[in-house]
Every structure is written in C-alpha cells, then in structure tokens.
C-alpha cells in the first residue's frame, strides 16, 4: 500500500512540473514520506463532532438500505483495523464517500477533500503575528501552534496576519540566518540588525548595502509608505506562499 501511494504521489508531482528525483530525495531527506498510509480515525471523529453527525447517519444517507448492514461492518474493519485482514471496501473508498457526504449534507463552510482522511499530514509552526505597523510579534509559549500544510512547504514557518483586512492570512517563509538575495525587490520577512525588529514588507536594496522596507499595494504595486529606512538587515527571507488555512483540505 505504501509503495503504491508513494508511486502515485510521485506521478502527481511530475505532472505538476516537479522533478521526480528532486521530490523523492527531498521527501526522504526531510523524512516526510509516511511509513504507512492508513485511514485517519481522528479526522473523521473531528468532522462528525463539528457537524453533529454519527457514522450511522453517513451510512443511511449514502448507501441503499439493503447495503447498510454490510457497509457498517466494512467500515468498522477500517476504523478498527486488524493486521493483514482482507479488504474489499478500502480506505480510499471510504474516504471518497465520506468527502462527498460531508460536502453534500453538512454545512462546514469549506470543501472537504478525500485525502483529508488518508495518510499523514505535514505541520509547520506559526512563528509570529503581523500587525498594522508592519512589525511581527514573535509567538511564545502557549501562543505557538501548528497548521497543516502541503509537504512542499515543510521547511517553512508561518506568520499570521492580525490586520483587519487580511485577518487569519498565513504567510509562509523559510527561516534564514543571513540575507536572502531572492527576497530583494519582493515581499519578504526581514529583521533589522540594530533594533531586532522583524518586519514584513517590500524589500528595496540600496547602493550602500542597506535596505528600505516599503508598504506597497498588492493591487497596484504602488508604494503607500515607508516602514523602515536605510537599515542593515540581520537576515531576510522571501514569502513562499500566502493563504487562508483550513484543516479540511490538506
């Protein structure tokens, strides 16, 4: 099962323009390939609780009356697996049917994908919070939490926007200890070497080796203002992705 799923993942990656050798080496290096792919009971329990439903509701809504008893037995074997037991109704079958059912009958305000129920997910830490002055406050202690993410961003951390117009938006970047030249003239995260303030903004390099950090409009690209002027950077890192996360469609 593991071999087949890994093969399918590699085929999908290549179709998505990723180099197969790179993906395989990266996943092994990062220890991201799950040891086994199995149905995640915790994912199902979460959705049943949030939608106030039971597995019997799913069976009643999804299958014909003369099939329901047999389906309940098959589902029980998947949710409570025994080693080397034969499978006629597989984890993939159950995951696909559940995804359709939750999307059709339950108001979760998002789309549930079949792969939410299968395998393992990758998680990254939410490093800090972005506020309206362009500065990032570092999360500490109980404020540190994790979000589910696509494995290709497994080497990233996230910053959550606390700004009203983009509340909850996650910006992902790779932690750095030096200046990332790929972040020049792009939206990035950067730290002022002198004040230790961590900024989010558009990095504009200067001829003297220092930087201005600009507040630029995403819509027009025009400069709205200047967040920091003529500063030395301790490190910088370009934004790899920005999105509103949901636990259901990983």
Which CATH number covers residue 215? 2.10.109
Phi-psi region of 52 (alpha: psi -120 to 50; beta: other; left: phi over 0): left
Could you tell me the pLDDT band of residue 7, with boundaries at 50, 70 and 90?
low
Residue 63's closest CA among 45, 75, 50?
A: 75
Do 185 and 247 sit in the same domain of this protein? yes
Average pLDDT of span 95-116:
81
Identify the domain boundary among 94, 117, 140: 117
pLDDT of 215 higher than 50: yes
Residue 136's closest CA among 199, 87, 184, 83?
A: 199
pLDDT digits (tens, 9 = 90+) for 106-116: 766 667 778 77
Which residues pair with residue 122 across a beta bridge? 149
pLDDT of 33 higher than 70: no
Residue 102's closest CA among 37, 39, 40, 45?
A: 45
Instruction: Sort strands 157-161 and 122-130 into parallel, antiparallel or unpaired.
Output: parallel
Do 73 and 107 sit in the same domain of this protein? yes
Instruction: Give the contacts of 139 (CB within 8 A, at least 6 positions apart).
Output: 126, 127, 128, 129, 145
Do 99 and 135 sit in the same domain of this protein? no
Identify the domain boundary among 98, 117, 136: 117
Is residue 159 within 8 Å of 216, Cβ to Cβ? Answer: no
pTM, to two decimals = 0.60
How far apart are the C-alpha atoms of 100 and 48, rounded to whole Å? 14
Percent of the chain at pLDDT > 90 equals: 46
pLDDT digits (tens, 9 = 90+) for 230-246: 999 999 999 999 988 76
Identify the domain boundary among 102, 117, 132: 117
Average pLDDT of span 82-100:
83
10 Å CB burial of residue 11 (0-12, 13-18, 19+) is exposed
Domain that holds residue 147: 121-250
Do 100 and 181 sit in the same domain of this protein? no
As given in the structure block, the two tokens for residue 172 are 């992902």
Q: How many CA atoms lie within 13 A of 8 on its CB side?
A: 8
Percent of the chain at pLDDT > 70 equals: 80
Report helix, strand or coil for 85. coil
pLDDT of 87 higher than 80: no
């Amino acid at each position: 099962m593991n071999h087949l799923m890994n093969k399918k993942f590699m085929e999908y990656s290549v179709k998505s323009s990723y180099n197969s050798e790179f993906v395989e080496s990266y996943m092994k290096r990062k220890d991201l390939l799950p040891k086994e792919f199995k149905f995640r009971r915790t994912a199902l329990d979460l959705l049943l609780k949030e939608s106030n439903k039971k597995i019997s509701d799913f069976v009643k809504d999804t299958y014909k009356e003369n099939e329901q008893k047999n389906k309940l037995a098959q589902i029980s074997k998947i949710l409570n697996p025994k080693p080397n037991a034969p499978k006629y109704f597989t984890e993939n079958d159950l995951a696909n049917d559940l995804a359709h059912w939750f999307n059709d009958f339950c108001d979760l305000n998002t789309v549930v994908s079949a792969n939410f129920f299968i395998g393992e997910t990758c998680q990254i830490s939410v490093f800090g919070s972005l506020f309206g002055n362009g500065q990032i406050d570092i999360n500490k202690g109980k404020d540190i939490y994790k979000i589910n993410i696509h494995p290709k961003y497994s080497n990233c951390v996230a910053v959550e926007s606390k700004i009203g117009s983009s509340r909850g938006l996650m910006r992902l970047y790779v932690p750095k200890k030096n200046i990332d030249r790929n972040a020049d003239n792009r939206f990035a995260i950067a730290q002022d070497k002198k004040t230790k303030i961590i900024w989010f903004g558009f990095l504009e390099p200067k001829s003297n080796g220092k930087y201005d950090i600009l507040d630029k409009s995403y819509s027009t690209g025009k400069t709205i203002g200047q967040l920091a002027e003529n500063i030395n950077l301790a490190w910088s890192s370009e934004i790899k992705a920005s999105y509103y996360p949901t636990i259901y469609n990983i």
